[in-house]
Amino acid sequence: MEDILLHLLRTTPQIHEFSVQFRQTDSAEWFYIRHKLDQSRRKSVKYGFVKLYVDHDGKRGHAEFIAYPSHTEEDLKRLIREALASAKLIENQAYVLPEKAEANPLLETVDRIELGKKIIDFTFAMEAKYQGEINSFEVFTNSHAIRFVNSNQTDVTYGVNDAFLEMIVNANDGEKEIELMREWRFASFDPQQMEIRYEEVFREARDRASAMPTPDLKKAELILGGENVKELFGIYRSATTANAIFNKASTFTQGQNVQENAVGDKISFTMTARLVASCANAPIDEDGVLLKPVVVMDQGVFTTIWGESRYCQYLDVPITGNLKNMDVASGSKSLSEIERSNAVEVLDFSSFVVDETSGDFGGEIRLGYLIQDGVKTAISGGSINGNLLELHQNIELSVERQDIDRFSGPLKIRIADVTVSGIKAA
Amino acid sequence: MQKPSILILWRPLIKEAIRILSDDYDYLSVLASDTAGKMYQIRSRSSELRDFMCERGIVARAIRGGSVVEVSLNQLPGDAQTLAGELKSALDAQFDWVRENKVETYTAHLEEEKQEGDFIVEPLVSFASVTMEDKLKRLQDLVKEVQAKDGRIVNAIAAMGEVTVHKLFISKHKNLYQAYPWSQGYLVGVAVGEKGVKMAFTSVSGQKGAEILEELETKVPVILSQVDDVLLAKPIEPGEYDVICTPEITGLIAHEAFGHGVEMDMFVKERALAMSYIDKPVASAKVTMHEGALGPKNVSSFAFDDEGVLAGDTIVIDDGILKTGIADALSASRLGIRPTGNGKRESFERKVYTRMTNTYFSAGTDHLDDMIASIKFGYLLDGMESGMEDPKNWGIQCVLSRAYEIVDGKKTGKVHGPVILTGHVVDLLKSIDAVSDDFEMFGAGFCGKGHKEYVKTADGGTYIKAKARLG
């Protein structure tokens, strides 16, 4: 399929430009219920994700299709004909694909079965060590071999390995049993980091089992950590993209002091091609842009629009490419300062909802801590909500850092004046 | 007529491969999928046309000595003998791993009745009968109309997704094939007001063809009204209120509260509180809730599920009493019950879980006007954004875009949002004291299991009046 498709794309005269990403994914998966294997699975699939571009009447149209290994040459010819017809109907402002990019091949092989077994054994060992109670867990180990080719002679091959673990943990206070869910995606298995996470989730499950109803505080200072920090900062990541700015989904302007009059920490972040724990590291993006780090916000000032080549061209700004990893600078507060009294810390939401367009965020509290007079009391129920773009004048970031999938940055943050809807009188 | 699928070529190949391997396993089946779809999306300043919800490949499931293993592939050889060899190699390697590592496994025994049949649903207006040019033009016209009617709208989006599903299920006793369409459309208005950028969204969906475009074209007044509302919306004072839920929000509650709560793979894991409430009251006597692909036709209506089990229609709650749950075949085997036709995969690449199809509250006898008139102070809730289940502890989280204030039985015109509805599922359902005689289904969203495994589901129902905590 690969050679035939490339030949057809290169020799069809109506195609002005094209790009194609061939992706071979091999996976091993295990599903456990308590200590018994529910089932195991293996997967081996290959796809060609094709984009072709047609210039017409001063405009550019493009169409996409997926090529399968089962496609014959005749199938591929038909798909190209249909995509050409589609692209001619799309009238977007003109743009071009990036110039030829070169990158060193990076293909690290991993024994997926051995890695999966290591994660399973480690999980049971941690359960025993910390006297936790695992209800069920799922382990996925994946290898992706990627080849990117475009019409500007770019031909780059690289590999990505990742693993995913979803775990349900129970705890019982003698009257009722509760559960907590955790998901971890990681590029490489680090037993030390994983042990910290296991110890935390077993402890937090026990705390949820004995949690009291969240008091109806109306307003509180909110502490968030872990993945929730990454999710919340997605608002800045999205609002600074060329796509959002061109399509008016963001009111940010380059050079704007986004946090004018801030009394807390000022946000600085870089979008980058590589982070230590990211599963999305890649030398180039989906258009073939060679990726390099870009400082997007510096001390609260929006310095650089970044994003897909097409939208950067529309805005006439330098092309950065579609970078996947966010690296946020540390703040000024130690963890103990962030965790000072008179705050609600939420560790676990039913689902943390973040609207990257409006800046609204919120969610039901599955497990939190009310921190008063130096004492942490577990709470559950009720919800929090707020708008980051209205509240970020008073945000504090920890000095201590975390490295997780697609994110490096403060371990915890503290935001003032967040709405807390509790379920018992404060 | 729908385009022919590669499954016509694969059917004899797979059938023969299963025959070759029939003595090697206690059970062996293959699900083959060939789903084709397109998404047409027009925005004020750019347009996209891309593949949508496409998949093509097979997944084989084998059981030996009660242990279950699967393999997913999309590179099929041209002859049955080679295919059988490749499947056997991938499946046996997993049985060997279980044996060599002395892994204790759950067991399952799938008993099948002999079933053969082809189930074809043709849309009223086939996707191919409307040209791509016409579809794009009609979406462009919608974008222009929306933007022309409200200067605050900085970006309007009109989109249509069209999907044709082909699935083939073959085992020793089953040879089933189905083909059906589904489609959805949506209008989005992105507007700038005093509080920054706000977004409004409305949708249409169904087991339908290109006729979905006509439905979408009736939604312009709806999106304009919603843009007005979200720009006016202010945060709500947190508290417990009398509320009326529109059918869209009722559907979301049915889905999150007792849809996920009765997925019986959660019973196997002892993750569902519902398993200890069978035949007990869990809702007001006015509540009857159904779940099943045989329910009202929508985006998750099918003839058989991804385990070759024929579609069902399960009464989950009958007059407020929890009667039963829904089950995939493996979970049903482990619980000693019959599967209900709710075994679904995100795609052939993923595992089966118990999943919802059409989930809804049956219509009642109350009237919406009377329900509004009965509220001293409360809110009419509308605009589903998201929801999250908690089957173990029966918490509920629904995020809604709009809450319309009601005072002394009348809507005041004040609107709040976004709003998070939280609470205990049974408290919420038992507080329902009115169920309207309206009925509507919604299927534009996707449903996850936890935070992954996204599949199409539909839900809906009636206007309900209840007490709910909003924040």
> Which of the residues A75, A88, A351, A390 would you substitute to probe the B interface, choosing the one with the greatest number of B C-beta atoms within 10 Å?
A351
A with B: how many residue pairs have Cβ under 8 Å apart? Answer: 229
The span from the CA of A252 to the CA of A32, in Å, is 46
Beta strands in B274-430 (DSSP E): 289-291, 314-318, 321-322, 343-344, 353-354, 358-361, 377-388, 395-407, 410-416, 419-424
CB under 8 Å to A193, separation ≥6 — which residues?
none
B8 touches chain A (CB under 8 A): no
Strands A325-328 and A407-410: parallel
Nearest CA-CA partner of B167 in B360, B343, B28, B354: B343
Q: Give tens-digit pLDDT for A28-66.
A: 999 999 999 999 999 999 999 999 999 999 999 999 999
Tell me, what's the pLDDT at B2?
Answer: 60
B420 touching A (Cβ < 8 Å)? yes
Q: What is the pLDDT of residue B389?
A: 77
> Would the pLDDT of B3 be above 80?
no
Is A66 within 8 Å of B192 when comparing Cβ atoms?
A: no
* Mean local confidence (pLDDT), A413-417: 97
Which chain B residues are within 8 Å of A65, Cβ to Cβ?
51
In contact, B227 and B200? CB cutoff 8 Å: yes
Question: If we measure between CA atoms, which residue out of A331, A235, A242 comes closest to residue A294?
Answer: A242
Going by the DSSP 8-state scheme, the letter that residue A36 receives in this structure is E
Chain A residues whose CB is inside 8 A of the B32 CB are none
Per the structure block, which two tokens stand in for B202?
């409305």
| Cross-chain CB nearest to B388 (options A38, A46, A351) | A351
Give residue A110's pLDDT band: very low, low, confident or very high (50, 70, 90).
confident
CA dihedral sign, ordered B11, B16, B17, B23? positive
Closest Cβ opposite residue B190 in set A35, A39, A248? A248
Pair of tokens at residue A352: 């943390």
Q: CA A32, CA A116: separation in Å to the nearest integer?
A: 12
3-state secondary structure of A284: strand
pLDDT at A164: 97
A313 contact B CB<8A: no
Q: Report CB contact under 8 Å: A42, B70.
A: yes
* Closest B-chain CA to A79: B51
The interface residues of chain A toward chain B in range 326-365, judged by CB-CB distance below 8 A, are: 349-351, 353, 355, 357-360, 362-364
Please give the mean pLDDT across all residues of chain A. Answer: 95
Phi, psi of B240 (to 5 degrees): -100, 135
How far is the first Cα of chain A from the last one, in angstroms, to the nearest whole number? 65
Q: Does B374 touch chain A (CB under 8 A)?
A: no
Contact state of A135 with B71 under an 8 Å Cβ cutoff: no
Tell which B residues from 36 to 55 touch A, by Cβ distance under 8 Å: 43-51, 54
Does residue A152 belong to the interface with chain B, where contact is any CB pair within 8 Å?
Answer: no
Contact state of B104 with A358 under an 8 Å Cβ cutoff: no
**Vertex B172 angle, CA B171 and B173, to 5°:** 90
Q: Following DSSP, what letter does each residue of B145-189 receive, concatenated? A: HHHHH-TTEEEEEEEEEEEEEEEEEEESSEEEEEEEEEEEEEEEE
- What would the pLDDT profile of B378-428 be if each residue is shown by its tens digit? 999 999 998 887 888 888 889 999 999 999 999 999 999 999 998 899 999
* Percent of chain A whose pLDDT exceeds 70: 99
Chain A nearest-CA residue for B9: A70
- Tell me the two tokens of residue B352: 């089966």
Closest CA to B347 of B72, B27, B86, B119: B72
- Residues of chain B in contact with residue A136, where contact means CB-CB under 8 angstroms, are 269, 271
> Per-residue confidence at A350, pLDDT binned at 50, 70, 90?
confident
A326, A409 Cβ separation under 8 angstroms: yes
What does the alpha-carbon distance between residue B45 and residue B49 come to, in Å, rounded to a whole number?
Answer: 14
Burial of B413 (0-12, 13-18, 19+ CB in 10 A): exposed
Q: What is the rounded CA–CA span in Å between residue B147 and residue A149?
A: 39
- The answer to whether B77 and A48 have CB atoms below 8 angstroms apart is no
Contacts of A121 in chain B (CB under 8 A): none
Structure confidence by residue, pLDDT tens digits, B311-347: 999 999 999 999 999 999 999 999 999 999 999 999 9
Q: Tell me if B440 sits within 8 A of B460, measured CB to CB.
A: yes
Q: Give yes or no for A210 touching B (CB within 8 A).
A: no
Query: How close does chain B come to A164, measured CA to CA in Å?
Result: 11
Crossing angle of helices B7-21 and B80-100, in 10° steps, is: 50
What average pLDDT score do residues A103-132 get? 91
Nearest CA in chain B to A51: B50
Cis-peptide into B418, omega within 30 deg = yes
Which of A277-286, A293-302, B54-63 shows the lowest per-residue confidence on average (mean pLDDT)? A277-286
Closest-approach residue (CA) in chain A for B256? A350
DSSP 8-class letter at B437? S
Residue B132 with chain A: CB contacts under 8 Å: 85-86, 89
3-state helix, strand, coil in chain B (%, to 5): 25, 40, 35
- Could you give the 3-state DSSP secondary structure of residue B199? strand
Q: Please answer whether residues B299 and B443 qualify as being in contact, where contact means their C-beta atoms are separated by less than 8 angstroms.
A: yes
Buried b (16+ CB within 10 A) or exposed e, A224-242: bbbbbbbbbbbbbbbbbbb
Residues in Cβ contact with B16 at an 8 Å cutoff, skipping those fewer than 6 apart: B80, B84
- Is residue B232 within 8 A of residue B401, CB to CB? The reply is no
Tokens matching residue B386: 């998201």
What percentage of chain B exceeds 90 in pLDDT? 91
List CB contacts of B468: < 8 A, sequence separation 6 or more.
Answer: B240, B241, B243, B381, B421, B423, B428, B431
Higher-scoring residue by pLDDT: B464, A106: B464
- For residue B52, the SS3 value is coil
Residue of A nearest to B349 (CA): A43
- The string of pLDDT tens digits covering residues B295-310 is 999 999 999 999 999 9
Q: What is the pLDDT confidence band of residue A174, given thresholds at 50, 70 and 90?
A: confident
Cβ of residue B124 closer than 8 Å to a chain A Cβ? no
Contact A70 B76 (CB under 8 A): yes
Predicted confidence band at B1 (pLDDT cuts at 50, 70, 90)? low
CB-CB under 8 Å, B420 with A362: yes
With 80 as the cut, is the pLDDT of residue A425 above it? no
For A117, name the nearest residue in chain B, comparing CA atoms only. B101
DSSP E strand stretches across A16-102: 17-33, 36-56, 59-67, 92-93
Among A100-114, A139-153, B32-46, name the one with the lowest average pLDDT. A100-114
CA distance A225 to A410: 8
- Return the minimum-mean-pLDDT range out of A90-94, B26-30, B108-112, B350-354: B108-112
Compute the distance between CA of residue A410 and CA of residue A131 in angstroms, rounded to an integer.
30
Q: Which of A13-22, A186-195, B108-117 has the highest mean pLDDT?
A: A13-22
Cα–Cα distance, A209 to A207 (Å, whole number): 5
CB contact under 8 A, A86 and B132: yes
Q: pLDDT by residue (tens digit) across B78-96?
A: 999 999 999 999 999 999 9
What share of chain B in percent tops pLDDT 70? 99
Instruction: Note the pLDDT tens digit of each residue in B214-269.
Output: 999 999 999 999 999 999 999 999 999 999 999 999 999 999 888 999 999 999 99
Instruction: State mean pLDDT over A173-185.
Output: 89
What's the gap in Å between the CA of A193 and the closest CA on chain B?
A: 22
**Tokens of residue B333, six digits:** 């085997």
Look at residue B79 in the predicted model and tell me its pLDDT: 96
Q: Is B90 near chain A, with CB under 8 Å?
A: yes
Beta bridge partners of B424: B395
In this prediction, residue B19 has a pLDDT band, given cuts at 50, 70 and 90, of very high
Q: Per the structure block, which two tokens stand in for A104? A: 């060193």
